[in-house]
Amino acid sequence: MMTFSNLSEDNITLDLATKGKHSALSRIAVKLARGTGLDDRAILRGIWRRERVGSTAIGRGIAVPHVLLRSISSPVASFTRLAPPIDFNSPDSDPVDLVFTLLWPRSEARTFLPALSRLFRTVRAPLIREGLRLAQSPEEVMAILMSEARQVDGIPWRTNATHSVALR
């Protein structure tokens, strides 16, 4: 749950229109910098350094750009829904519209992979992905992500976005 507990409504952007991957990551870095007091260029450099190793797109329209930073003491997360989706060199060739960006303290590197794994398990659930694609507000996004902590299967969700998916 650590990943979503570090996500605030202020770091949720819905329907961001960009010209491509660089533009999207630049705008995400600027928003994260405003909220953390970090330098947006330093955030973007770290994210691009990781992207050069290999795309952070994981398939099904999802990307998880991330960077380990010495300059922060606690994790920071953001969620951005892109409209329209963009090419992110995804392994399944699907364009990306759901972007979870993680800034992680280098001093807490041992907790990073378990948190990343938890995020991957969460977004593998079709109901979660579709709810995020239909969410009308940052509050709905938070409700969808937090609901994952309460067993996704078998518990009715109360947000409009997930309710409409569940009824299909």
- Measured between alpha carbons, how far is 162 from 139 in angstroms, rounded to an integer? 13
52 Cβ contact partners less than 8 Å away, ≥ 6 residues apart: none
Domain ranges (residues) in the chain = 5-148
E-strand ranges in 17-75 read 57-59, 62-63, 66-69
Q: What is the CATH number of domain 5-148?
A: 3.40.930.10
pLDDT, the chain, mean: 88
Mean pLDDT across the stretch 32-45?
Answer: 95
- Measured between alpha carbons, how far is 115 from 104 in angstroms, rounded to an integer? 10
What local confidence, expressed as pLDDT, does residue 160 receive?
46
Q: How is residue 154 written in tokens?
A: 């078998």
Mean pLDDT across the stretch 86-91?
Answer: 96
Catalytically active residues are: 66
Q: How is residue 27 written in tokens?
A: 């705008």
Please give the full DSSP string across 83-146, using - where no structure is assigned.
EEEE----TT-PPEEEEEEEEEEGGGHHHHHHHHHHHHHHHTSHHHHHHHHH--SHHHHHHHHH
Q: Is the pLDDT of residue 152 over 90?
A: no
